Amino acid sequence: MYPELQGRVALITGAGRREGLGEAMARRLAEEGCKVVITDVGAAKGEYMPESAVGTGSEMQSIVDEIITAGGDAAAFNCDVLNPAEVAAAANFAVETFGSLDIWVNNAGIGYLMKPIVEMSIDEWDTVLGVNLRGVFLGIQAAARIMIEQGRGGRIINIGSQASKSGFGHASAYTSSKHGIVGLTRVAAMELGEHGITVNTICPNHVTTGLGAWQNSHFSGVTGRDMNQYMADMRARIPLGRPGLQEDIAKACAFLCSDQATYMTAENMNVSGGEEYH
């Protein structure tokens, strides 16, 4: 536990879907004593993001209610990271509701448009890059503007992927967006260091969230393996012998927010059981 996190205000994008990395990070930061703003789209966002794949308003609110029942402090806000006005409004909501903005986690992402390059449409490419990379840019911008004005530093954490470091077939847009976050992290860390704001990215390997379960099913099919074989092959290539858990990512997030990480910035940190090591 990190007592210095008590009372800090943290906003997490894409944190409204049950079993997601965003929910896990929100819960962990709330346990650390942070006041947490859970944001997500709140409703279906068209063909690629049906209600079953997004954090809905009622899911967001139920996570908030559970955090409050457990003694924490939390609030929900609808924010589509494709929309600059909504991202800025979310940042303002955190300040208006809890008095400041100290931690911003760019977690929102989509990984459903998995196709060979020759079959990928421009709209599909734009959708993935829009949510996964432009959305992170907008989050960094909105958070930095407030943190600079507050004048007491801050922490920005992005959720990259193993696809931030390695290439994956059928994932041209996803891999490009997640590689893009690496460069964006480095630039933001350079620009914001003088304000005491650190910017780091966590790069998970596989975690069986709602998105992760869809990817397992999709890629086991694409590679012609049944699910048991697919998961056994996955475990076999991970030195620590298992895929990631939501709590593994939440632990890394809490660490990067803590005073243990005051001299860490511009890092693109693998949390992958050793599967990814560069």
Ligand X SMILES: NC(=O)c1ccc[n+]([C@@H]2O[C@H](COP(=O)([O-])OP(=O)(O)OC[C@H]3O[C@@H](n4cnc5c(N)ncnc54)[C@H](O)[C@@H]3O)[C@@H](O)[C@H]2O)c1
For ligand X, which is the closer residue by CB, 6 or 217?
217
**How many residues belong to the chain?**
278
Question: Of these residues, 165, 174, 230, 277, which one is catalytic?
Answer: 174
If one asks whether residue 107 binds ligand X (CB under 6 A), the answer comes out as yes
**CA pair distance 66, 264, nearest whole angstrom:** 32
> Exactly one of 14, 72, 180, 273 binds ligand X (CB under 6 A); which one?
14
Give the distance, in angstroms, between the CA of residue 149 and the centroid of all CA atoms in the same chain: 24
Q: Which of residues 149 and 233 has its CB atom nearest to ligand X in the complex?
A: 233
- Select from 74, 108, 173, 199 the one that contacts ligand X (CB under 6 A): 108
Assess 131 for contact with ligand X (CB under 6 A): yes
Query: Rule CB under 6 A: which of 28-47 touch ligand X?
Result: 40-41
Determine, following the binding rule CB under 6 A, whether residue 271 of this chain makes contact with ligand X.
Answer: no
Task: Give residues 45-74 in contact with ligand X (rule: CB under 6 A).
Answer: 49, 54-55
Distance between CA atoms of residues 189 and 146, nearest Å: 16
Structure tokens at 42: 């709140």
- Residue 33, classified by CB atoms within 10 Å of its CB into exposed (0-12), middle (13-18) or buried (19+), is middle
| Residue type at 233 in one-letter notation | D
> Any residues with CB less than 8 A from the CB of 131 and at least 6 apart, and which?
81, 82, 108, 109, 110, 177
Catalytic residue check, 178: yes
> Is 111 among the residues that bind ligand X (CB under 6 A)?
yes
Q: Facing residues of 159 across strands? A: 202
End-to-end, the C-alpha distance of the chain in Å comes to 28
Q: How many residues line the site for ligand X (CB under 6 A)?
A: 30
Among 10, 11, 20, 189, binds ligand X (CB under 6 A): 20
Query: Does residue 139 touch ligand X according to CB under 6 A?
Result: no
Nearer to ligand X, 4 or 19 (CB): 19
User: What region does 233 belong to: left with phi over 0, alpha with psi -120 to 50, or beta?
Assistant: alpha
> By CB under 6 A, what part of segment 186-225 binds ligand X?
204, 206-207, 209-212
In the complex, least distance from residue 210 CB atom to ligand X, rounded to whole angstroms: 4
Shortest Å distance, C-beta 80 to ligand X = 4
**H-helix or E-strand containing 122?**
helix 122-129
29 touches 254 (CB < 8 A): yes
Return residues touching ligand X (CB under 6 A). 13-14, 16-17, 20-22, 40-41, 49, 54-55, 80-82, 107-111, 131, 159, 161, 204, 206-207, 209-212
What are the residue numbers of the active site? 174, 178
